[in-house]
C-alpha cells in the first residue's frame, strides 16, 4: 500500500468531458457557447401542455452507445448515469488515460447528482398504481439511487480508489470536484474522475419546481427564457447533462507527460444557514466561499481574470450573488468579467457546477471568456460586468466558478493557468 503524501498544492486538470444541451462533447459545447447559441426549446420529453413552464434545455440526439455499454446494460441505467458514462469516456480520452487502468487502486471517482433517477421513480410509481407490485422493475432501486452514476463510472473504469457521490442540490458538481481534489491532496489517490450529472426533465420535476415558483414562465420565446441578471428574469430553465473532469496530482501528471489544461488551486465550501430554498440576500455565505477559494489559490481580487457565476436567472439568486461577489472582491468586483453560461444551457442542477468548472478551465486554456446571452434590461441591483457584449478574447490566468444549492449549500472553485 502506497504511503500517504499530504499536499496543499494545486491539482492538475488533464481531461474534460461534457454532455450538454449545446452539444454531446466538450468541443461542440464550447463552440456553440462562444457563438451565443441557446440550448433551450419547447419541452419534448413529455407532454407539458398543462404545465406553467413548457420550455427546457434538453440534450438532443444523445446515443446511449456513447456509454460504451451493451444495449441490454444501457436499458438498466437511468439517463443521468448514461450521461455520466458518456462524459467520462470523453474525459478519459482527453486525458490520454487508458482502460484497463495501470494502477486501479490509485484512481477514484466522485460523481454526484442532485435528484437521482426521479423520472424512473415516477414511471415505476405509475406502474405500481396501475399494474400492481409484481410488475415493478427489478432494476428500480439500482436505477434510481443517487450514487449510481459514481458507481457505474467506477465499474466501467475498474477504478478501485475512493468512490463517493456528493449530493448538495445545484452545488453538487462543484462540491464533487472540490472534494475529489482533497482526496488527491491527502494522498489517497493519484487520479480522480469528478463531476456531476442530471436528467430529471419530466412532469414530476416540472410540477414541483413550478410549485416552488422557481421556473420561468416565458414560454413564447424559449431561446430567451433563461436571462441571467436581466431585470425581467422570472425563473430558471431546467436543463440536463453531465460534466466530468480528470484531476491528477502534479507529480502523477508530470511523470506520465500529461497535458495540463489548468490547475485547480482553490476550493471554498460554506453554508447559508438561512432558508431551505432561498439564498441569503446579503450574500454572506456565498461571499465566504469565494473568499476561501481565492485565499487558498493565492489569488488577490485585483488579479482575478474571470468569474463564471451561478447566475440562475431567478430574481433572488442573481441579486444575492451580485452582493456576494461585491463583498468578496470589493472594488475589483466592478472590473472582473462575469458571465452566466446558464443563459445558453439553462440550469443543469446537479451537473451545473461541473460543467461550469469545465468552462473556467477552457477559458484559461483558450484565452476566451464566454458571454451571458439574453441580457436586455439592466437591473440596478445587478450592476457588474456580466459580459453581455459577446465573447471576449483575452488572456485568462485565473478564473473561479460559483455554485449554490437549495439547502444553503455554497461551493466555489478557483482555477489558474498551469
- Report, as residue numbers or ranges, the catalytic residues: 170, 310, 347
d(CA 83, CA 197) in angstroms, rounded, equals 7
Tell which residue, 241, 346, 348, has the closest CA to residue 20: 241
3-class SS of residue 50: coil
d(CA 55, CA 33) in angstroms, rounded, equals 19
**Is the four-CA dihedral 178, 184, 188, 191 of positive or negative sign?**
positive
Residue 154: what are its φ and ψ, rounded to 5°? -60, -45
DSSP 185-242: HTTS-SEEEEEEEE---SHHHHHHHHHTT-B----S-GGGS--TT-TT---BPBB-EE
Q: On the CB side of 333, how many CA atoms lie within 13 Å of its CA?
A: 18
C-alpha cell at 221: 420565446
d(CA 149, CA 112) in angstroms, rounded, equals 7
Peptide bond preceding 94 in cis form (omega within 30 of 0): no
Q: Position of cell 450538454?
A: 20
C-alpha cell at 360: 473556467
β-bridge partners, 338: 307
Residue 127: what are its φ and ψ, rounded to 5°? -60, -45
- Distances from the Cα of 128 to the Cα of 121, 137, 306, 383, angstroms: 10, 10, 50, 51
d(CA 372, CA 3) in angstroms, rounded, equals 46
CB 18 within 8 A of CB 241: yes
> How far does Cα 140 stand from its chain's mean position?
25
- Spell out the residues 6+ positions from residue 73 whose beta carbon is closer than 8 angstroms to its own: none
Amino acid at each position: 500500500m502506497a504511503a500517504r503524501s499530504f499536499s496543499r498544492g494545486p491539482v492538475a486538470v488533464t481531461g474534460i468531458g461534457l454532455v450538454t444541451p449545446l452539444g454531446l462533447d466538450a468541443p461542440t459545447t464550447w463552440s456553440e457557447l462562444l457563438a451565443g447559441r441557446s440550448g433551450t426549446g419547447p419541452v419534448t420529453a413529455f407532454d407539458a401542455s398543462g404545465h406553467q413552464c413548457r420550455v427546457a434545455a434538453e440534450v438532443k440526439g444523445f446515443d446511449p452507445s456513447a456509454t460504451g455499454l451493451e444495449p441490454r446494460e444501457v436499458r438498466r441505467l437511468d439517463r443521468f448515469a448514461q450521461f455520466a458514462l458518456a462524459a467520462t469516456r470523453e474525459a478519459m480520452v482527453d486525458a490520454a488515460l487508458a482502460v484497463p487502468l495501470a494502477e486501479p487502486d490509485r484512481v477514484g471517482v466522485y460523481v454526484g447528482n442532485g435528484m437521482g433517477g426521479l423520472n424512473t421513480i415516477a414511471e415505476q410509481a405509475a406502474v405500481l398504481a396501475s399494474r400492481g407490485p409484481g410488475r415493478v422493475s427489478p432494476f428500480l432501486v439500482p436505477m434510481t439511487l443517487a450514487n449510481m452514476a459514481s458507481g457505474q463510472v467506477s465499474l466501467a473504469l475498474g477504478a478501485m480508489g475512493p468512490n463517493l457521490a456528493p449530493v448538495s442540490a445545484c452545488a453538487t458538481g462543484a462540491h464533487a470536484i472540490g472534494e475529489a481534489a482533497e482526496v488527491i491532496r491527502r494522498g489517497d489517490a493519484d487520479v480522480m474522475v469528478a463531476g456531476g450529472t442530471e436528467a430529471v426533465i419530466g412532469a414530476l420535476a416540472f410540477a414541483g419546481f413550478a410549485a416552488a415558483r422557481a421556473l420561468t414562465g416565458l414560454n413564447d420565446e424559449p431561446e430567451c427564457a433563461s436571462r441571467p441578471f436581466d431585470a425581467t428574469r422570472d425563473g430558471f430553465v431546467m436543463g440536463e447533462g453531465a460534466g466530468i473532469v480528470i484531476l491528477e496530482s502534479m507529480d502523477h501528471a508530470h511523470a506520465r507527460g500529461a497535458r495540463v489544461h489548468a490547475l485547480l488551486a482553490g476550493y471554498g465550501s460554506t453554508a447559508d444557514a438561512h432558508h431551505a430554498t432561498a439564498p441569503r440576500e446579503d450574500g454572506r455565505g456565498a461571499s465566504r466561499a469565494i473568499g476561501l477559494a481565492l485565499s487558498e489559490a493565492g489569488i488577490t481580487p485585483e488579479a482575478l481574470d474571470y468569474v463564471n457565476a451561478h447566475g440562475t436567472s431567478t430574481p433572488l439568486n442573481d441579486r444575492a450573488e451580485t452582493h456576494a461577489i461585491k463583498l468578496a472582491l470589493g472594488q475589483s468586483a466592478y472590473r472582473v468579467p462575469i458571465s452566466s453560461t446558464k443563459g445558453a444551457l439553462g440550469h443543469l442542477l446537479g451537473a451545473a457546477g461541473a460543467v461550469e468548472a469545465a468552462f473556467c478551465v477552457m477559458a484559461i486554456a483558450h484565452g476566451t471568456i464566454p458571454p451571458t446571452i439574453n441580457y436586455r434590461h439592466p437591473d440596478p441591483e445587478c450592476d457588474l460586468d456580466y459580459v453581455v457584449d459577446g465573447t471576449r478574447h483575452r488572456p485568462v490566468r485565473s478564473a473561479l466558478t460559483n455554485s449554490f444549492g437549495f439547502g444553503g449549500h455554497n461551493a466555489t472553485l478557483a482555477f489558474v493557468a498551469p
